[in-house]
Amino acid sequence: MAAYDLEEQEQIAEIKAWWKQYGNRLVNVLTAFALVAAGWQGWNWYQRNQAGQASVIYGALQKAVQDKDTQRVKAASGELLEKFGGTPYAVLGALTSAKAMIEAGDAPTAKAQLLWAAEHAKDEWRDLARLRAAAVLLDDKAYDQALAQLEGASGAAFAIRFQDMRGDVLAAQGKKPEALSAYRTALARLDELEKGAAGLEWRGEANAIFRDLIGQKIDALGGGR
């Protein structure tokens, strides 16, 4: 029994020695882990809360668009961009507001919304914003700015539209050879899509109409088909 007590005391002494050497470090690690876990939970809650509030405002924006109330559209979109810019609803709000503003004849506000979306959106949403921004800038005769929106890579779904819009801008600048090249590139990529090279499907009447439209642009520039 005495031997057992002695062995037990030795173990206790070893534990005390280990704790003395590593205890503070262990406490710090555990504390840091707890703080990270709490921070992660807090961030997730914050994100959910932000998204929830943003969805309500986006709903109000949609209602304002239906009512054709441009002031409410501007107010709701502005609130989304200012307070909830990190949520997907801000990008959706900017695109929705821009479309409403174009229909209302307020091109400057539409341009501001689209440029914001082009800078902050991701993936296909960014490509869509860039394309629409280029169209507004083309109407505004801001040709260099329009071309700047069309520079760089885009998703396969927008590659043809980007080349077509690029042709429109170059044609407006009087750069016929460059415009023809862009239109022909658009047709070539359309051919690739139809053959399934890009894994997308462009078929039916819409495809034929778009091909014919590009062909008409080429004919207008004297390029033939």
CATH node for 153-225? 1.20.58
Q: Determine the average pLDDT of the residues in 193-214.
A: 67
Residue written as token pair 């071309």: 147
Fold of 49-151: 1.25.40
Residue 52: the pLDDT is 76
Q: How many CB atoms lie within 10 A of CB 208?
A: 11
Q: Which of 214, 161, 154, 160 is nearest to 189 (CA)?
A: 160
- Whether the per-residue pLDDT at 198 is higher than 50: the answer is no
| Least confident range of 74-78, 94-98, 156-160 | 156-160
Mean of pLDDT over the chain: 81
Q: Name the residue with higher pLDDT: 206 or 112.
A: 112
- Sequence spans of domains, the chain: 49-151, 153-225
> On the CB side of 1, how many CA atoms lie within 13 Å of its CA?
0
Task: Please report which confidence band the pLDDT of residue 70 belongs to, taking 50, 70 and 90 as the band edges.
Answer: very high
Residue written as token pair 């441009």: 70
Task: Please report which confidence band the pLDDT of residue 149 belongs to, taking 50, 70 and 90 as the band edges.
Answer: very high
- Distance linking the first and last C-alpha atoms of the chain: 104
- Whether the per-residue pLDDT at 32 is higher than 60: the answer is no
CB 121 within 8 A of CB 91: yes
Dihedral in degrees, nearest 10, Cα atoms 22, 27, 29, 30: 140
Q: What CA–CA distance (Å, rounded) separates 219 from 213?
A: 10
**DSSP secondary structure code for residue 87 in this structure:** S
As a whole number of Å, the CA-based R_g of the chain is 29
Task: Please report which confidence band the pLDDT of residue 8 belongs to, taking 50, 70 and 90 as the band edges.
Answer: low
